[in-house]
Amino acid sequence: MKTNIIFSICLLAVFAMSCSQPKGDGTQLAQKVTELEKKVDQLTQELSDQKLKTRIVNDMVFGSPLENFFASDEFWENPVDVAQQECSKRCIRNLQQHREACAKIENAEERQKCYQDATTSASDCQKSCWRL
């Protein structure tokens, strides 16, 4: 029992010492904080430099993304013709406008002929796009 009391008092004394405030005006603590902030800045700069070096080596070993894009088979085998796409869009837009005009015709026979003409015109337009 006495041992437990002595052990408890020793434990309390150690705890009290560890919680006590450091003596002095805090200049040492401020200096330590400043040193640590400088170290963090230095490590941040080193990390940034390392990332740049890694990217340069990676580009040298594996090539740049732009070079990889142009070197890929897909780029050369699946070309996209922008002029053809624009022509197709124009044909579709004209077809829609033509069909809207046809829908306003009251005579069923004339309306049907108008729809047929719109379809034929759109088909011819699409065929002309492929000849570009």
Tell me, yes or no, whether 68 lies in a domain: no
Tell me, yes or no, whether 73 lies in a domain: no
Tell me, yes or no, whether 53 lies in a domain: no
Query: What phi and psi values does residue 77 have, to the nearest 5 degrees?
Result: -90, -20
Number of domains in the chain: 1
What pLDDT sits at residue 21?
A: 56
Q: Could you tell me what percent of the chain has a pLDDT over 90?
A: 31
Tell me, yes or no, whether 119 lies in a domain: yes
The closest alpha carbon to 97, from 111, 117, 118, belongs to: 118
* Rounded distance between C-alpha atoms, residue 92 and residue 122, angstroms: 7
> DSSP assignment of 5-19, as one string?
HHHHHHHHHHHHHHH
Tell me, yes or no, whether 118 lies in a domain: yes
Residue 123, domain extent: 82-130
Tell me, yes or no, whether 25 lies in a domain: no
pLDDT tens profile 45-89? 888 888 888 877 777 777 777 777 777 777 777 677 788 889 999
Tokens of residue 48, six digits: 């940034």
What pLDDT sits at residue 92?
A: 93
Has residue 19 got a pLDDT over 60?
no
Has residue 20 got a pLDDT over 60?
no
Which amino acid, one-letter code, is at 12? L
Between 10 and 35, the higher pLDDT residue? 35
Tell me, yes or no, whether 12 lies in a domain: no
Between 123 and 17, the higher pLDDT residue? 123
pLDDT tens profile 90-123? 999 999 999 999 999 999 999 999 999 999 999 9
pTM here?
Answer: 0.41
Has residue 9 got a pLDDT over 60?
yes
Tell me, yes or no, whether 8 lies in a domain: no
* Rounded distance between C-alpha atoms, residue 83 and residue 87, angstroms: 6
* For residues 13-28, average pLDDT: 63
Between 65 and 1, the higher pLDDT residue? 65
